Structure 1
Amino acid sequence: MPFPTHLLTKDEDLVLDLRPHWWYLAPAGALLAVVTLVALAALRTSWWGPLDWAILLLFLGALGFFGFTYLQWTTTNFVVTNERLVSRKGVISKEGIEIPLDRINTVFFNQSIFERIIGAGDLGIESAGEGGRQEFTDIRKPNLVQNEIYRQVESLEDRRLRRLGQAAAEAAPATPAEPQLSIPEQIEKLDQLRRQGVVTDEEFEAKKRELLDRM
């Protein structure tokens, strides 16, 4: 079943929601297949003896074991959001691990040759805190998951830097406005520009009259 969205915080986005690789079901599935073949062979006999009953019980046990393993598979989530990494599992009672992205130091993955062929592997997370290193098994395409975790860690750091920059800009005192020149000072400034040839005598006189009219 998917990770419950009501467990996400207000600004949290779900990036990855993975169940274990199908190889997680392989041992229970192989046992059920073998016992099923044995049971079918036993049914070919014309009589039903104690051994047949034992095979039937074994088949029911293998079927129950596969069913329970499948329930475990459907109720196990490996989740990556834009803020944290979460691992949850449990059919009736739940247990889980939560690692904030800003506490993740290193992400490792390990694959055997066979696991590389089927696209499965193990993931190791080293984080700051009491947990140290956490191991997660039967992860689908662990190398791609590793890359995605690093991308989200970098994205989280970028968002925090932008928020810090915005907060610093809002907290910085406003640049004081330049003091307003008085009308005599403005006329003197215009006269300097006239002497420098920046404005003509006519422009100077017109602006001077305009300023004097304001007094």
Structure 2
Amino acid sequence: MPEVLYKANPSVWRSHPFGALIAWLMVLGGAAIVLTGTLPLPPEAQQSLQLPDGFEPRWLGYGLIAVGLFQLLRWWLATLMDHLEINEDELIWTHGLLSKQYIEINMTSVRTVRVEQSLFQRLLGAGDLKVYTAGDDPEVRIRGLPRPQEIRQHIKRQSAGED
């Protein structure tokens, strides 16, 4: 059995840094509204705010919690569906939760490995990876992988036939 050189799943935090932060703030803000039963506004702002009769702030809090948790759960499930494994002979990309898609690329057929990193991805140690074998379109596109430069080095080293 070939030795596994690298194994990873994309990360929610690394793939969606601002989105994850906003979703967590929605959950925490919603929890604060549910616990206190009031909107976190200064008293003069609450008095000037025209709320409909029978408005219950706790329902807004429950809504914020539900939307934030739904988005985090959706992203988390998406990261569980994606898995990259690099061994001595091939790169294996697995995608899917119930039905699976496998892409296996022989290391000797890799022509180009492209790593793209935004400023925030660089700060978080993540990046997007594209692997080209033939043609102009990449065989594999993977977002939010940790340590993308290490992945690129593994692929280039193995595709060149080094040990």
TM range (shorter): 0.7 to 0.9
Q: Map residues 35-114 of structure 1 onto 2, 5 A cutoff.
A: 35-43=26-34, 44-45=36-37, 49-114=55-120
Q: Alpha carbons of 1:68 and 1:34: their partners in 2 closer, same or farther (altered >3 Å)? A: same
Q: Is the counterpart of residue 17 in structure 1 residue 7 in structure 2?
A: yes
Indicate the SS of the match to 1:155. coil
Q: Is the counterpart of residue 33 in structure 1 residue 24 in structure 2?
A: yes
TM-score, normalisation: structure 2:
0.72
Q: CA deviation at 1:56?
A: 0.7
Identity %: 23
Bigger relative contact order (CA 8 A; separation at least 6) = 2
CA RMSD in angstroms, aligned pairs only = 2.8
- In structure 2, stretches of 5+ residues that fail to align are 39-53
The answer to which structure has the higher helix fraction is 1
One-letter code of the match for 2:121? E
Q: Alpha carbons of 1:83 and 1:153: their partners in 2 closer, same or farther (altered >3 Å)? A: same
The answer to which structure has the higher strand fraction is 2
| Matched residues, number | 146
Q: Is the counterpart of residue 135 in structure 1 residue 125 in structure 2?
A: no
Quote the residue 1:187 is aligned against: none
Conserved? CA contact 1:36–1:59, under 8 Å: yes
Indicate the SS of the match to 2:143. strand
Quote the residue 1:3 is aligned against: none
- In structure 1, stretches of 5+ residues that fail to align are 1-10, 159-215
Q: What per-residue deviation string (whole Å, max 9, x for no partner) do you get for residues 167-197 of structure 1?
A: xxxxxxxxxxxxxxxxxxxxxxxxxxxxxxx
One-letter code of the match for 1:106? T
Q: CA deviation at 1:51?
A: 4.3
